[in-house]
Structure 1
Amino acid sequence: MAARRMVTLDDVAREAGVSVSTASRTLNGTPSKVSATTQARVRDVAVRLGYATNLAAQAVALGRSQSVGLIVGSIPEDYQNPVTAGVFRAAADRDLLVSTAITSISDIERTTRAVRQLRGQRASVIVVVGTEAPDSDGVAELVDELGRAEHEGARVVMIGISGTPFDSVVVDDHKAGADMAAALHNIGYRQFAVIAGTGPGLLSQQRVDGFRDGLHRSGVDLSPDRIIWQDFNHDGGYRGAGELLRRHSVDAVFCVNDAMAIGACVRFREAGVNIGTDLAVAGCDDIPALRDIDPPLSTVHLPWIEAAEAAFSLAEHDRSEGRYVVLEGFPLLRSSTPGVPAPAAVEGPGA
C-alpha cells in the first residue's frame, strides 16, 4: 500500500483561504496577531485535514521546541516516583512534551551527553531532579553543560539540588524526619528504629538526621545501631525489616521513603508481626500506592506536585538568578501508628 502524503501547512492555508504565514501563526507561533474568527477557521481545517505541526521545523523557526527535558537519577520499577509524576503533570497542564533521561549525575559522560541531546532538541525547559550536594561528583560538569543550554535560550531549574547558579526548588527533608519523630513521640512511642536508604544524594541522610534530631528534642536518643541502611527501594525495606527483626525489639519504625516502608511491612507480616498492633510503621513521601495498603500507612506528605509547579513557575523568568524555593510537608498519622494508650489511673484507698 502506498504511503499517504502528509498534510502540510500549505494544504491548511489553501483550504482555509489564508496565507501560509497566517496559518503558521495560528498553529505554530503567535496567534494573537490573527483574528479570532480566522484562528477558528484555520484550526477547524487543520483538524479536518489531520494536520500535525512539524515540531522540528517549529523549533528551528522559534529557536525553542514545545518540550521539556527531564534529567532524573532513577524511575523506580515498583512505585511511581512522586517528583517525576509532578513534572509530567505540570508539563501536561502546559501542553508540553517531556523527554526523559535517566542517569546518575556522578556519571559525568552520560549526563553531559543527555544535556547535549536536550540542547539539540531545543528543549524550552530542562528540569534536573536529584539530591546531590553542589560539591558532589559530576555537579560542576553538569552545571557547565546546563549553562550552555541557558546561554542558547533554554531555562534550567533544579528540583532537590541547591547551591548552583540555577533556580531551584527543594523540599525540607530534615524537617520531614523531625516532624515525624515528634508526631510519633507525641502519641506515646519511645523505642525507635530507622530503615534508611543508601546511595548517592542527601535525601535519606537528611531525613535520618531530622528524625534523630526530632527525637533528641523530645528527650529520646537514637543509637547508631538502630539505623539500618539498605537499598533505597521496596526490596531494601524488606531486607532492612528482616535485619531489624534479628537485632532489636522496638515500638515504632520510621522508613525514609514509602516504598521501603511497604517492603518492611511485607517482611514484618511474614514474621507474624501485626502492623499497628505489635509494631508501628511510618514512611515518608505519601505516594499514591499507600491507598492500597492495609492497614493504611502513616507517612509524611511531601508537596511533590507543588514542587513541580514551582519549578515551572521559576522557568517563566527570563534567566536563572539562583532563586530558591523551599517547601515543607506534614505528618499524616494513620492506622499503622495508632499510638500507645496512656496507662489507666490507679485510684488510691478511699477514693
Structure 2
Amino acid sequence: MNSIDIAKIAGVSRSTVSRVINNYDNVPDETRKKIQQIIKENNYVPHASARMLAGVKNRVIGLFIIDMKTDTNGKQVTSSSYFTPFTGSVIENASKMGYNVLVSIVSKQKDYKKVKEIFYNKTVSGGIFIGEKNGEPEIKEIINSGCRVALLDQAVKSDEEVYNKCIIVNADNYYGAYKATNYLIGLGHSSIAHIVGISENLSGIERFNAYKNALTDAGIAVKSNLIVKGDFTINGGYNATKKLLQKEIPTAIFCGNDMMAIGAMQAIEEANLNVPEDISIVGFDDIEVARYINPTLTTVRMKLLEMASIATNTLITSIESNSNFSANYTLPIDLIERNSCKALK
C-alpha cells in the first residue's frame, strides 16, 4: 500500500495525505483524523517519514525551472544557454555539500501541483526556483506551508511576510539596464529602441523601467513606436526587431537579454542594415556566445554562476542547521563593451 491507495480510501488527493503525514496544519481536523485512522488500520509507514524516524536526513534539493513561454517555433526558454550553466552550478555546489539535485521544469500552471507534492512528500528538503512570475501565488503557498525555498529574480516586498521566510537572490537588473541605456546615450544616440523581455518576470520589469527612466533623465522622450515585446528567446528578438523596423528604424536597440539581441542582429542583417554601422546593439546577461558572434556583443554581465552558488549554499546551510533562515542578496553587474555599438558623430 502507498499514499495513492490511502488517498483513494479517504476520498482525498495524494497531496492532502502528504500534508497529514508531514504534519502540516493546512488540513481540516476531520479530514486529518480520517486519514490518520486509515493509515493506522492499514499499518502504513510512509517512506520519507520512516527515513526521518531512523534519523536519516533527506539530502536532496529541488531545482524548479519555470518555463511557460514558447517562441513562435514552439521552442521554450529553457533551451537557451542561460539556464544550462545555472543548472550545472547548482548541481556542482550541492554535490560539494553532499546533496543531490532533482531538476524539474514547470511548463504549465497546473504543474505547480506536482511541485507541491514534491515538497509535501519530503522528496526534497528544499528547493530553488528560477524563471518564476514575480509574486507567484503558488510559490507563496509553498513557502507559507513551512518549506525551505530560494528564489531567483523576485522582488522583495516589505509588506508581505512571506518574503521574510525564504532566500532571495537577484542581479541588479535596474542599475544594469540603466547603465546600458545610458551608455548608448553617451555614444550620441537618442533614437533608442527597447525589446522587452517577459513582462511578468522581475528582470523584464526592472530592465524596462530602467530603460524608460534613463531616457527621461537624459531629456529624451520615450516613444511607444520604439518599444516592442519579446520573450527572452532568439526567435522572439528576431520577430520583435522585424516588427520594430517596419515602424521606425532606430540608431540603437537595448535588448532585454542576449538571446533576443542575437535574434535582433539577424533581423537587422536581413533588412540589409549593419551592426553597428546602422544600428548599435546592447544585450543583457553576457552569455558565453556573446563574445564569439560577429560583431561581438556589448552587454551587461550578470554573475549568474555566483547567484546559483549563493542560492544553493545558503539553502543547504539552512537545511543543515534546521533554522528558519531568510536572506536577500543583490549582486552587482558590469557593462562589457565589445564591438556591437558605434558612437554617432
TM-score under structure 2 length normalisation: 0.72
1:255 aligns with 2:259: no
Structure 1 residue 255 displacement after superposition: 0.6
Q: 1:64–1:122: 8 Å Cα contact kept in structure 2?
A: no
Amino acid at match of 1:79: S
How many angstroms apart in 2 are the aligned matches of 1:222 and 1:235? Answer: 25
Where does 1:150-161 land on structure 2 (aligned, <5 Å)? 150=147, 155-161=148-154
Aligned CA distance change for structure 1 residues 145 and 253 (closer, same or farther; 3 Å): same
Q: 1:59–1:122: 8 Å Cα contact kept in structure 2?
A: no
Shifted more, 216-225 versus 231-240: the winner is 216-225
Amino acid at match of 2:187: I
Amino acid at match of 2:91: F
Structure 1 residue 252 displacement after superposition: 0.5
| 2:79 aligned to which of 66, 77, 82 | 77
Aligned CA distance change for structure 1 residues 234 and 65 (closer, same or farther; 3 Å): same
Hey, what does 1:324 align to over in structure 2?
Answer: 328
Hey, what does 1:68 align to over in structure 2?
Answer: 61
Q: Deviations over 1:20-46 (max 9, x none)?
A: xxxxxxxxxxxxxxxxxxxxxxxxxxx
5+ long unaligned stretches in structure 2: 1-47, 68-76, 158-162
Structure 1 residue 288 displacement after superposition: 1.2
Shifted more, 179-188 versus 162-171: the winner is 162-171
Structure 1 residue 61 displacement after superposition: 4.4
Structure 1 residue 286 displacement after superposition: 0.7
Shifted more, 118-127 versus 287-296: the winner is 118-127
Structure 1 residue 121 displacement after superposition: 5.2
Amino acid at match of 1:143: K
Structure 1 residue 232 displacement after superposition: 2.8
Amino acid at match of 1:326: T
Q: Deviations over 1:126-170 (max 9, x none)?
A: 111235333x4xx2x4333344453xxxx3211122342212112
How many angstroms apart in 2 are the aligned matches of 1:279 and 1:148? Answer: 50
Hey, what does 2:105 align to over in structure 1?
Answer: 102
Hey, what does 2:287 align to over in structure 1?
Answer: 287
SS at match of 2:133: coil
Where does 1:18-167 land on structure 2 (aligned, <5 Å)? 61-74=54-67, 75-81=77-83, 83-103=86-106, 107=109, 109-120=110-121, 122-134=123-135, 136=136, 139=137, 141-148=138-145, 150=147, 155-161=148-154, 162-163=156-157, 164=163, 165-167=165-167
| 1:334 aligned to which of 328, 331, 338 | 338
SS at match of 1:200: coil
Amino acid at match of 2:99: L
Where does 1:172-191 land on structure 2 (aligned, <5 Å)? 172-191=172-191
5+ long unaligned stretches in structure 1: 1-54, 342-351
Give the CA RMSD over aligned residues. Answer: 2.6
Q: Deviations over 1:245-304 (max 9, x none)?
A: 111121110110111110111111112211111110111111112133111011110111
SS at match of 1:65: coil
How many angstroms apart in 1 are the aligned matches of 2:131 and 2:57? Answer: 25
Amino acid at match of 1:99: L
How many angstroms apart in 2 are the aligned matches of 1:171 and 1:296? Answer: 23
Q: 1:285–1:299: 8 Å Cα contact kept in structure 2?
A: yes
Shifted more, 91-100 versus 271-280: the winner is 91-100
- Show structure 1 runs of 4+ deviating over 6 A: 55-60
How many angstroms apart in 2 are the aligned matches of 1:84 and 1:196? Answer: 24
TM-score under structure 1 length normalisation: 0.71
Structure 1 residue 326 displacement after superposition: 1.3
Answer with 1 or 2: which has the greater Rg: 1
Structure 1 residue 63 displacement after superposition: 4.0
Amino acid at match of 1:171: A
1:225 aligns with 2:222: no
Shifted more, 84-93 versus 245-254: the winner is 84-93
Hey, what does 2:240 align to over in structure 1?
Answer: 240
1:197 aligns with 2:197: yes
How many residues get paired? 277
How many angstroms apart in 1 are the aligned matches of 2:141 and 2:204? Answer: 27
How many angstroms apart in 2 are the aligned matches of 1:275 and 1:204? Answer: 24
Q: 1:64–1:123: 8 Å Cα contact kept in structure 2?
A: no
1:215 aligns with 2:215: yes
How many angstroms apart in 1 are the aligned matches of 2:293 and 2:174? Answer: 26
SS at match of 1:250: coil
SS at match of 1:71: strand
Structure 1 residue 95 displacement after superposition: 4.7
Q: Deviations over 1:166-198 (max 9, x none)?
A: 121122212121111112212222211011124
